[in-house]
Amino acid sequence: MSGNTIRGSAAIVGAALAGLGEAPGRSSEEIAIEASVKALAEAGLTTRHVDAVFGSLPGNSNPLSGLLIAEMLGIQPKFTDNNRTGGSTFLSYTQMAAMALKEGLCETALIFYGSNQRTASGKLISSVKPFTYEAPYAPIFPATSYALAASRHMHEYGTTREQLAEVAVAARAWANLNPAAFMHGPLSVADVLGSRMVSSPLTVRDCCLVTDGGAALVMTSAARARDLPKKPVYLLGAAAATTHMNIVAMPTLTETAAVDSGRRALAMAGLRPADMDVVELYDAFTINTILFLEDLGFCKKGEGGAFVASGAIAPGGRLPVNTNGGGLSCVHPGMYGMFTLVEAVQQLRGEAGQRQVKNAQLALCHGNGGVLSSQITNILGTEATL
Amino acid sequence: MTAALPASAAWTQGPGPDLVYAQYLANNEFRIQHCRSCGKHVYYPRLACSHCGSVELEWVRASGRGVVHAVSVVNRSADKGGPYNVVLVDLAEGPRMMSRVDGVAHDAVRIGMAVRARVAAGAGEQPCVVFDAAEVAA
């Protein structure tokens, strides 16, 4: 590929998880650092190699966590990015890291996340304060915002609660193949429909988990990546798009900015949706998966419900989606974006065990932040796809 | 097009749109903003037009007419007051706002329902705009 792009210029050379599910007695910082140390170790690098740090911690526990985690690890970075766009943020860190690496601003980038929200508070730790013009009506943040979008999708396209439930059922089927997933065991459409209603049409099984967990990635230039122990996973495309912050300001409730981020990320990679072997979508709620399948071009607008109900995204289906079990059944420690990336890396390295997608060469990861607000798409590939 | 600032600096002075809006509500008035530059209406209140960027926004009385665009019922437990609806309403003037529909069963609110605005008590102590089902007018 020619042209002014970051396609293939940087690679992920280390990827690790920590504290998945429950990590009693451990702080968010400690979970982030455990993941960081593990990711550096598998990359064959140490903290002394790291000269750029990207990351954030949940809520307002420490908004300057980009500084804090670097300090705790004894890193004095040349480049620090503590950008916050919600759970999508991490897919912008990979983009920024690739840009900084390509421009020679740094040589080794560490990307981190850690959260102890489950054992510390038992509920979602949100970074968002109630909005003046929504708070009087007491929506549950963020579930009611997604529920409103779901209600509109059902109204316009005839999407059903059963079809929403199929997303959760497929995620659980993948989780059952992943020993690291928090939720295991059978889950049926009837189970999802019969579970506690949170904010209609979404039941508790249409909503992501509340878990602890952390993850870290190490990125370096493509040239340097080839000398490191792990099979490099290259960033082939990345793009972000934002339409709003609060659900009242979302231009079209049934179409997200993933239309735009996906199109540009795929264009940078020179690829089409049909080229993807594995797809990791930020499934904060079941409606997300349906919206993103449509908006990213895996099916037509309005046909996401039928697409998931056909079994397409479940193990054995024609499009492997959320192969770790997703935010619905694997892990959701407040911000999930990192976990789409780590799972894609494991799939592209062929390290995904029982849930391994055969001969996976290309992955699309998609992050969502706020309430369908920030949409960021990354395309990852093996050396064969460069 | 050149974005010209208004000759008067009035828009940089005095209480901002959040406070002005709240003062209207306290007087039982539902007002929204109208952009003198592009002619569109703005809600929620802002200092600059979200359509064109102009600061030439004026306060106008909302017609109060709207249509339910989306609805969710929050499943609050009975001991805390039971379920309640949260809606997005498209105002006749164009903007969309979050609100609730009063006076009907929580599960009877439908997308497409015509509704009419009223100033009422919010979840906190501040007043807020809610809606009632409207008589279907010709």
* B9 found inside a domain: no
B119: Cβ contacts below 8 Å, ≥ 6 apart: B25, B28, B29, B30, B127, B128, B129, B130
The confidence score (pLDDT) of residue B136 equals 59
Domain range holding B124? 65-133
* A263 found inside a domain: yes
Q: Do B27 and B75 share a structural domain? A: no
* B6 found inside a domain: no
The confidence score (pLDDT) of residue A62 equals 78
- Position A205 pLDDT exceeds 70: yes
The confidence score (pLDDT) of residue A346 equals 98
**B128, A130 Cβ separation under 8 angstroms:** no
A197 contacts on B by Cβ (under 8 Å): 73, 75
A198:B124 CB<8 A: no
Q: pLDDT band for position B57 (50/70/90)?
A: very high
The DSSP code for B74 is E
Q: pLDDT band for position B3 (50/70/90)?
A: low
Instruction: Identify the bridge partners of residue B88 per DSSP, sorted by sequence position.
Output: B70, B98
B46 → chain A, closest CA residue? A133
Q: What is the mean pLDDT of residues B4-28?
A: 93
Q: pLDDT band for position A121 (50/70/90)?
A: confident
The confidence score (pLDDT) of residue B123 equals 62
Q: pLDDT band for position A361 (50/70/90)?
A: very high
Best CA proximity match to A308, nearest among A192, A182, A178 = A192
Q: Do B79 and B36 share a structural domain? A: no
* A85 found inside a domain: yes
* B3 found inside a domain: no
Q: What is the mean pLDDT of residues A74-88?
A: 96
Q: What percentage of residues in chain A have a pLDDT greater than 70?
A: 98
Q: What is the mean pLDDT of residues B34-46?
A: 97
* B36 found inside a domain: yes
**Tens digits of residue pLDDT in A207-263:** 999 999 999 999 999 999 999 999 999 999 999 999 999 999 999 999 999 999 999
**Tens digits of residue pLDDT in A132-152:** 999 999 999 999 999 999 999
Domain range holding A324? 10-123+209-381
Angle at A125 between CA A124 and CA A126, to 5 degrees: 105
CA distances to B54, B57, B58, B59, B93 from B40, rounded to whole Å, are 11, 10, 11, 12, 8
Q: State the average pLDDT for chain B.
A: 93
Angle at A104 between CA A99 and CA A106, to 5 degrees: 85
Q: Do B69 and B35 share a structural domain? A: no
The confidence score (pLDDT) of residue B138 equals 44
Q: What is the mean pLDDT of residues A361-384?
A: 98
More confident call, A128 vs A9: A9
Partner A contacted by B19 (CB < 8 A): no
ipTM of the complex: 0.95
* A129 found inside a domain: no
**Tens digits of residue pLDDT in B69-116:** 999 999 999 999 999 999 999 999 999 999 999 999 999 999 999 999
Q: Do B82 and B56 share a structural domain? A: no
Give start and end residues of each alpha helix (H) in B5-110.
17-26
- Using DSSP's 3-state secondary structure scheme, residue A203 falls into strand
Provide the shortest C-alpha distance from residue B124 to chain A (in Å). 6
Partner A contacted by B98 (CB < 8 A): yes
Q: Do B128 and B87 share a structural domain? A: yes
> How many A-B residue pairs are in contact by the CB < 8 A criterion?
79
- Position A299 pLDDT exceeds 90: yes
B72:A253 CB<8 A: no
Q: Which residues of B110-120 are buried (b: 16+ CB within 10 A; e: fewer)?
A: ebebebebebb
B129 → chain A, closest CA residue? A136
The confidence score (pLDDT) of residue B1 equals 47
The confidence score (pLDDT) of residue A378 equals 98
Q: What percentage of residues in chain A have a pLDDT greater than 90?
A: 94
Q: pLDDT band for position A324 (50/70/90)?
A: very high
* A162 found inside a domain: no
For the entire predicted model, the pTM comes to: 0.96
Residue among A131, A137, A199, A371 with most chain B CBs within 10 A, to mutate: A137
B70:A197 CB<8 A: no
B75:A200 CB<8 A: yes
Of A133, A135, A248, the CB nearest to B123: A135
- Position A172 pLDDT exceeds 80: yes
The CATH number covering residue A240 comes to 3.40.47.10
Partner B contacted by A164 (CB < 8 A): no
10 Å Cβ neighbour count for A203? Answer: 22
**Tens digits of residue pLDDT in A259-296:** 999 999 999 999 999 999 999 999 999 999 999 999 99
* B53 found inside a domain: yes
10 Å Cβ neighbour count for A208? Answer: 28
Q: State the average pLDDT for chain A.
A: 96
- Position A61 pLDDT exceeds 80: no
* B8 found inside a domain: no
What is the domain count for chain A? 1
**Structural tokens at position A30:** 């400690």
B117 contacts on A by Cβ (under 8 Å): none
Tell me how far apart the alpha carbons of residues B81 and B74 are, in angstroms, rounded to a whole number.
11
Of A136, A196, A200, the CB nearest to B72: A200
Q: How many CA atoms lie within 13 A of B88 on its CB side?
A: 24
- Position A2 pLDDT exceeds 80: no
* B113 found inside a domain: yes
Best CA proximity match to A29, nearest among A115, A119, A127, A90 = A115
* B10 found inside a domain: no
Q: Which of A121-130, A177-186, A199-208 has the lowest mean pLDDT?
A: A121-130
Q: Do B73 and B40 share a structural domain? A: no
- Position B2 pLDDT exceeds 70: no
* A161 found inside a domain: no
What is the domain count for chain B? 2
CA distances to A97, A251, A284 from A299, rounded to whole Å, are 31, 21, 20
The DSSP code for A358 is T
B71:A198 CB<8 A: no
Q: pLDDT band for position A123 (50/70/90)?
A: confident
Q: Do B81 and B28 share a structural domain? A: no
Q: What is the mean pLDDT of residues A107-124?
A: 92
Of A136, A155, A253, the CB nearest to B122: A136
Provide the shortest C-alpha distance from residue A249 to chain B (in Å). 7
A150 contacts on B by Cβ (under 8 Å): 72
Q: Do B76 and B53 share a structural domain? A: no
